[in-house]
Structure 1
Amino acid sequence: MRSANLFLASVLLFAAGCGSGLGTVPVTGKVTLDGEPVEGAMVVFNADSADGRSASGMTDASGAYVLTTEFNGDGALPGSYKVAVSKFEGGDDGMPDTTGMSEDEAMDAMYSALDKKGRNAPVAKNLIAKKWSNEAGSGLTATVTDSGPNEFNFEVTSK
């Protein structure tokens, strides 16, 4: 009985100290499209360093986003990032609505939209100018710090 209690105490102490284990910090912000808040835009922070990890979030009706690296809303690792923003028009184009999904869930949903012959479903239209959806050419950057505040607002255009 004593060894069972000791084991249980060890497990509880380990679990209490674990968290995500990554060292992420909260990251938030807003995205505006042509000066107006944009709902359903995907914001992706791509780490500049090889040992970094990307983080992403989806904007709500007010244009606000919260980044996720591993667990919903856990933020991003401290470091430098190149940022991409995109918003695809849904509807009857065969592509799933990824609003509220994590980056992994959204990618799984997109791959599921492929037909049996491996051809892509009809291509969705990006409502944000193409340059913003490519982190290498968007010019959008962010440096996430341990001390914060880590709020990054981005103004993008449709043309």
Structure 2
Amino acid sequence: MAVRSNFCALVILLAALAGCSDSVDRVPVKGRVFVDGQPLTHGMVQVVPEGARPAYGELNAEGEYSLMTFKENDGTVPGVHPVTVTAIETVDEWHNKWHAPKEYSNASAGLTVEVGSDGSASDIELSWKGGKPFVESNRKD
């Protein structure tokens, strides 16, 4: 339930930002995410540049994403930026499957991505460090 609430809050935030603008120059960005060398095929990437609005991208079946700040494929500003990867899938009302370690969904994990002025992005490399995908229960009883 908490994941669903967080997702809804993210959608509302993106909708609210859709009517806003700022004056930074963005480049369209496409990148890839890997976990232990394999493409991560579920989840969302959030890039948080200092002094500019965050950008988001959903992963596809090849582990690729395109960043969006205000509208599809408008990208983000070039530079090295903190990034989070939240790779969660709802299994049923009470269970979620994590396709990548939960720690990467928090900015304190220290992940970064380098965005070039041409829109290139460094690969985002994640690791289970011996773990594996798991199903988590949200049931409180």
Q: What TM-score results when the alignment is normalised by the length of structure 2?
A: 0.65
Alpha-carbon contact 1:42-1:57 (below 8 Å) kept:
yes
2:59 alignment counterpart = 59
How far did 1:143 drift?
A: 3.6
Q: Report the 3-state secondary structure (helix = DSSP H, G, I; strand = E; otherwise coil) of the residue aligned with 1:69.
A: coil
How far did 1:22 drift?
A: 4.8
Matches within 5 A, 1:65-80: 65-80=65-80
Alignment equivalent of 1:141, drawn from 101, 112, 122:
112
1:103 alignment counterpart = none
Alpha-carbon contact 1:39-1:63 (below 8 Å) kept:
yes
Structure 2 counterpart of 1:85, which letter? V
Q: Report the 3-state secondary structure (helix = DSSP H, G, I; strand = E; otherwise coil) of the residue aligned with 1:136.
A: helix
Alpha-carbon contact 2:27-2:119 (below 8 Å) kept:
no
Structure 2 counterpart of 1:84, which letter? T
Alpha-carbon contact 2:113-2:122 (below 8 Å) kept:
yes
How far did 1:126 drift?
A: 2.8
Of all paired residues, the percent bearing the same amino acid is 33
Name the one with the larger strand percent.
2
Unmatched runs of 5 consecutive residues or more in structure 1: 1-19, 94-121
Q: Report the 3-state secondary structure (helix = DSSP H, G, I; strand = E; otherwise coil) of the residue aligned with 2:92.
A: coil
Matches within 5 A, 1:7-156: 22-47=24-49, 49=50, 51-93=51-93, 122=94, 124-137=96-109, 139-145=110-116, 147-156=117-126
Compute the RMSD of aligned alpha carbons. Answer: 2.2
Question: In the aligned structure 2, how far is the partner of 1:71 from the partner of 1:22?
Answer: 14
Question: In the aligned structure 2, how far is the partner of 1:85 from the partner of 1:53?
Answer: 17
How far did 1:155 drift?
A: 1.6
Larger radius of gyration: 1
Alpha-carbon contact 2:114-2:122 (below 8 Å) kept:
no
Task: Summarize deviations over 1:69-94 as a string: whole Å, max 9, x none.
Answer: 1101111123441011121122213x
Q: What TM-score results when the alignment is normalised by the length of structure 1?
A: 0.59
Structure 2 counterpart of 1:141, which letter? T
Structure 2 counterpart of 1:151, which letter? A
Alpha-carbon contact 2:34-2:126 (below 8 Å) kept:
yes
Alpha-carbon contact 1:28-1:152 (below 8 Å) kept:
no
Structure 1 counterpart of 2:60, which letter? D
Unmatched runs of 5 consecutive residues or more in structure 2: 1-21, 132-141
How far did 1:40 drift?
A: 2.1
Structure 2 counterpart of 1:39, which letter? T
